[in-house]
Structures are given as structure tokens and as C-alpha cells.
Homo-oligomer: A and B are copies of this chain.
Amino acid sequence: MYSFKELSKLFAEHFAAKHFPEKPETLYEPGNYFLSLGGKRIRPVMCLMGNELFDEINPDAYQVGTAIELFHNFTLVHDDIMDDASLRRGKPTVHAKYGSTVALLTGDVMLIRSYDYLNSIKTEYLHKVLSLFNKTAREVCEGQQIDMDFEKQENVSLADYIEMISLKTSVLLAASLEMGAILGGASEYNCKHLYEFGKNLGIAFQIQDDYLDAFGDPEKFGKDVGGDIKHNKKTFLMLYALQAASDVQKAELKQLMQDNSADKVEKVLAIFKACNVDAWANQLKEKYYQTALNHLESIAVVSVRKKPLLELAAFLIQRDY
């Protein structure tokens, strides 16, 4: 069996192929540009891991992984238009570099291309993989829409936020694992537990991401700390704080979210700490992480096969930051 790192290397070699025709260059060059910006290719590697949990890697898993990665990049290209984002991985977005009409079509053709890769797998798996892929693709769009709706909504419950995050990010991780499992011949029972493992791990990862944005060590985190607070993003932390805070603190938080004073991050963090938001977030993350591990535990294969996934989970949910 391969480690996550080894599979990443194998997938990267496979994914280095050309994904688009030469012409018209005005349509396909932007797509090649965006794919060249890189990324960790976590989802396709999870597809390979989901396969290898049950059997030797089926060559079709590389095709499905490619489809998943193209789908993921399609969502990024379109999200960048919606968010009017100018940078992605430190480089101009397609939207910023080529304009929004080109970015729109680039995303469309990337999504269509992902279905070509799906259509290249053995017919016996096609229907099942396509069902899960389509359902997941729809859910990711729903998550994106709900996220945009939340921006305009004053009160968002924690449960609704978790549902949104789950749709927007976790279901694709979960489905990547399950599509691999399908190609590995896994039973329905095992597929479902693997899906839940991925979904809960994804939620735990997102809680951690929100946590690190507020409380992370800037040097280790590698991003500007407090970005979510500066942009008034509704995160796990902010939603909990708005619930747990006293009336005075609540009023202060709402006031802080309305202006952009220089000490905004500092003041919001002080309220977060006073409300024990940090401890609460760690507990919530731990809860989803443990749920994920329980689902992995339930999968009926010898435990040695689960090792790479356990390592991946521990790597994603770092406890020493």
C-alpha cells in the first residue's frame, strides 16, 4: 500500500497530461494556466486511497480522480468570479487575468471535461460513480449559494452553518473517498462508513481552519491571521461567540463588525477569549474528528489497510499548532 505522499506523486505524474485541446487557445489556455497554479490534489488522492482501502488500485481511479480535480478547479474558477477574487495561490485568478466572460466559459468547459474522464471508466461502474458525482456536484453548488445567502442574513444558526460547510467542502472529500471505494469493489455498508469518515473529517478540518485563522501562529499557519475577522466572515467562532457572549459583548461584536478600526482583530479576539471560543472550537473539532475515526473503525477491512487514511486524518487535523 502507498502512503498519501506516494499517491500524491503518482497522481501528479498522471495529472500532468494535457487536459484540453490546442484550439481555440483563447478558451483553453486559461484552463491550462489555472491548472498549472498547482494545489495539493487532496481529493483525487483521497479517491486513490478509498480504492486502495479495499483492493489494488484500479486504473479507473486515476480517471475518476482527474474528473474530481477538474471539477474542484471548475468550482474555484467560478467562485473567484463570484467573490471578485484577484489572487489564488499567489497568482492572478482566471477572472483577474482574462476577464469574467473567459473565466465563465473556462469553468464551464472544465466541468464538461470532467465528465469525459468519468465516461472513460469501465461501464460496470459508470452509473454508480456518475450518480454520486452528480449528487455531490449539485450539493457543492447548493453550499456555495447558501454561503452567499448567509452573507446577507443577520442570524445564522450553528447547525445551518455546519450544514452549509458540509455541502460546500466536506461532501466532495467524502465522495472522493467513496468513488474510489466503489472502484475497489467495496460493499454499500463500507462505502457509507467511508463517506461519513470523509464528511466528518472535512467538518473537523474546517473548524480547525477557522480556529487557525483567529488563533494560529502566523509563522506556522502561513496566512495573515485574523483575515476572517477583518472581512466580517461568519465563521464557526463568530457564530458561537454571538451565542455565548453577554449582551454587552454581543453589542460590541456587532459594532466591531460594522467598522474597520485598526484594533478590530485584537478586540474581537479578546471577546472570543473571554467567551472561551477557543476551547469550544477545539472541543467541537475533536468531536467531529472522533466521529470520523469511529466511522473508519466500523469499516470491515483488516486494520492495516486503514493506516494511510489514519495518517492522513492525523496530518490534516494537526493538534500541536
Contact with A104, one of B82, B123, B134, B146 (Cβ below 8 angstroms)? B82
Contact with B along A79-113 (1 / 0, CB 8 A): 00110000000000000000001101101110111
A137 partner residues in chain B, CB cutoff 8 A? 112
**A interface residue count range (under 10 / 10 to 19 / 20 to 34 / 35 or more):** 35 or more
Contact with B along A111-144 (1 / 0, CB 8 A): 1110110010001001100110010011001101
Complex alpha-carbon distance, A149 and B123, angstroms: 38
Contact with A101, one of B82, B127, B134 (Cβ below 8 angstroms)? B82
* Interface residues of A, dominant DSSP: helix
Beta-carbon contact of A112 and B126 below 8 Å:
no
Beta-carbon contact of B141 and A112 below 8 Å:
yes
Complex alpha-carbon distance, A131 and B123, angstroms: 13
Complex alpha-carbon distance, A131 and B115, angstroms: 9
Given contacts A78-B104, A82-B104, A105-B144, contact A138 B119 (CB under 8 A): no
| Integer count of this chain's copies in the complex | 2
A126 partner residues in chain B, CB cutoff 8 A? 123, 126-127
A222 at the interface (CB under 8 A from B): no
Q: Which residue of B lies closest to A23 (CB)?
A: B142
Beta-carbon contact of B116 and A134 below 8 Å:
yes
Q: Which residue of B lies closest to A129 (CB)?
A: B119
Beta-carbon contact of B81 and A141 below 8 Å:
no
Q: Which of A24, A78, A81, A108 has the most CB of B within 10 A?
A: A108
Q: Which residues of A pack against B, CB within 8 Å?
A: 23-24, 26-27, 78, 81-82, 101-102, 104-105, 107-109, 111-113, 115-116, 119, 123, 126-127, 130-131, 134, 137-138, 141-142, 144-146, 148-149
